[in-house]
Amino acid sequence: MSAPGENLRINSARLWDAIMEMAKIGPGVAGGNNRQTLTDADAQGRRLFQSWCEAAGMTMGVDAMGTMFATRAGTDPEALPVYMGSHLDTQPTGGKYDGVLGVLGALEAVRTMNDLGIKTRHPIVVTNWTNEEGTRFAPAMLASGVFAGVLKQDYAYGRQDAEGKSFGDELKRIGWVGDEKVGARKMHAMFELHIEQGPILEAEGREIGVVTHGQGLWWLQVTLTGRESHTGSTPMNMRVNAGLGMARITEAVHEIAMANQPNAVGAVGQANVYPNSRNVIPGKAVFTIDIRSPQLAKLNVMREEIELAAAQIARDLGLGIEIEPAGHFDPVTFDEGCVKAVRNAAEKLGYSHMDIVSGAGHDACWINKVAPTAMIMCPCVDGLSHNEAEEISPEWAAAGTDVLLHAVLETAEVVG
């Protein structure tokens, strides 16, 4: 049977209800979400997602990183499954849609297939990747990185949060250590629907982003060591101020990103000074530099320039300095065949679309190393994300999910 026609659409109201239901779990303080990975709220969200998948007739598998794989059988059990999904964990001041749209959009696509009795030759698997955000346990995309063989499971299990709790202990505490070997699953293809998290699609008036590439990223954790002393009685020329070093390096990161325009970004998002007392010169500062570019050469030049500038600032201020990579992936080129399936679906459905490079990192960036992968994006209001005010329209959510449904059906081969 040929792929279904353009009249096949998902149930937009049911999708929106599911997103709003999930948003009640791990509520933020300003209308968004704080459902950080491996917290009790994450566990509650997982249970809700599992109940929905099982109600849709899917069987749930879980791997040793806690990633959830809900399978809808195909007519050919030998055929490799087509995967679609994203992540349910959020930033501490996250929005309701980052990651969630991709997981619940995939569930809605399956629910729509069930409504219409659509059969596919390839099985279909809806996925919730553990710890995409990398806030509580750095780096980001931790579980998909282990799945892709880029990160070791022992490394992941040993990652610690700010309170010294380890990933492995917390995964065990919430009861989500699965029995599957991470990465043992083989995929025919993987699609990830995600909000853009930037301003381009809305500004261009396009409903769909056909994601051809993804930016590369470095996270560099910097530790500066100075000397704690009294902020009142220590003469200025006797201070060894780690906080001042952090401020100057933060400024240097911004200047270097600006000097490397276009296609370069840089900031410091996480920063701690010690002892963090109002009347003590910080003796230590620990912070993470986040730099990104779609061009590998530019990304590496920025890293070199920042490391040189940071070393000079430390020398100028008499500070000790350590710089440790805390996360990295090269720029990504998604699979041409999968990208074409996304573009075909947008065209068939009559949605305005444009090619786009993902500014944010996603699980698809790692899975692209082990399976043909592509992403679909929908706009978000003012391009705002990683903010509780993150907003999309039900129409944008439905358009993205319609495209996901059709791209997956084209790839999974509708039969009967």
Binding interface with ligand HGY (CB under 6 A): 132-134, 140, 360-361
Q: How far is the CB of 378 from ligand HGY (least distance, A)?
A: 16
Could you tell me which stretch among 21-29, 32-40, 98-106, 148-156 binds Mn ion (CB under 5 A)?
Answer: 98-106
Nearer of residues 361 and 400 to ligand HGY, judged by Cβ: 361
CA dihedral 370, 375, 381, 383 (to 10 degrees): 60
Residue 361 binds: one of ligand HGY, Mn ion, none (C-beta under 5 to 8 A by kind) = ligand HGY
Q: Which is nearer to ligand HGY, 140 or 319 (CB)?
A: 140
Nearer to ligand HGY, 208 or 360 (CB): 360
99 binds Mn ion (CB under 5 A): yes
Residue 99 contact, options Mn ion, ligand HGY, none, Cβ 5-8 Å cut-off depending on partner type: Mn ion
Nearer to ligand HGY, 314 or 364 (CB): 364
Alpha helices in 159-267 (DSSP H): 167-173, 200-204, 242-259
Residue among 42, 63, 98, 390 that touches Mn ion (CB under 5 A):
98
Give the x-and-dash track for 269-308 against Mn ion (CB under 5 A).
----------------------------------------
CB of 140 within 8 A of CB of 327? yes
Nearer to ligand HGY among residue 110 and residue 365 (C-beta): 365
Q: What angle do CA 107, 95, 405 make, to 5 degrees?
A: 25
In this structure, are strands 353-358 and 208-214 parallel, antiparallel, or unpaired? parallel
C-beta nearest to Mn ion: residue: 99
User: CB-wise, 133 or 410, nearer to ligand HGY?
Assistant: 133
Cβ pair 139, 327 in contact under 8 A: yes
Query: Quick check: helix, strand or coil at residue 328?
Result: strand
CB of 140 to Mn ion, least distance (A): 8
231 in helix, strand or coil?
coil
Tell me how far, at minimum, the Cβ of 19 lies from ligand HGY, in Å. Answer: 18
Locate 207 and state its tokens: 């409903």
For residue 124, the one-letter residue type is: I
Question: Which of ligand HGY, Mn ion, none sits in contact with 134, Cβ below 5 to 8 A by type?
Answer: ligand HGY
Contact predicate 340/376, CB 8 Å = no
C-beta separation of 375 from 194 below 8 A: yes
Window contacting Mn ion (CB under 5 A); options: 92-100, 199-207, 214-222, 277-285: 92-100
Q: Which residues, numbered 55-84, are part of the site for Mn ion (CB under 5 A)?
A: none
Instruction: State the Cα–Cα distance between residues 94 and 90, nearest whole angstrom.
Output: 5
Closest approach, Cβ 38 to Mn ion, in A, equals 16
Nearest to 112 by CA among 415, 404, 410: 404
Decide if 357 contacts 196 (C-beta within 8 A): no
Q: Which is nearer to ligand HGY, 134 or 168 (CB)?
A: 134
Sheet of 265-274, strand order: 265-274, 284-293, 216-225, 320-329
Total number of residues shown for the chain: 416
140 binds, options Mn ion, ligand HGY, none, Cβ within 5 to 8 A by partner type: ligand HGY
Segment (H or E) for 324: strand 320-329
413 binds, among Mn ion, ligand HGY, none (CB under 5 to 8 A by kind): none
Q: Name the residue with tokens 């947008």.
A: 346
How far apart are CB 366 and ligand HGY at their closest, in Å? Answer: 11
Q: Which is nearer to ligand HGY, 197 or 241 (CB)?
A: 197
Residue reference for tokens 């995309």: 141
**Per-residue DSSP letter, 240:** B
Q: Which residue shows structure tokens 């992936």? A: 329
Q: Tokens 């999968």 label which residue?
A: 338
Choose the binding region for Mn ion from 90-98, 247-255, 296-304, 387-395 (rule: CB under 5 A).
90-98
Tell whether residue 89 is a contact of Mn ion (CB under 5 A): no
Question: Is the CB of 133 or the CB of 388 nearer to ligand HGY?
Answer: 133
**What residue ranges bind Mn ion (CB under 5 A)?**
98-99
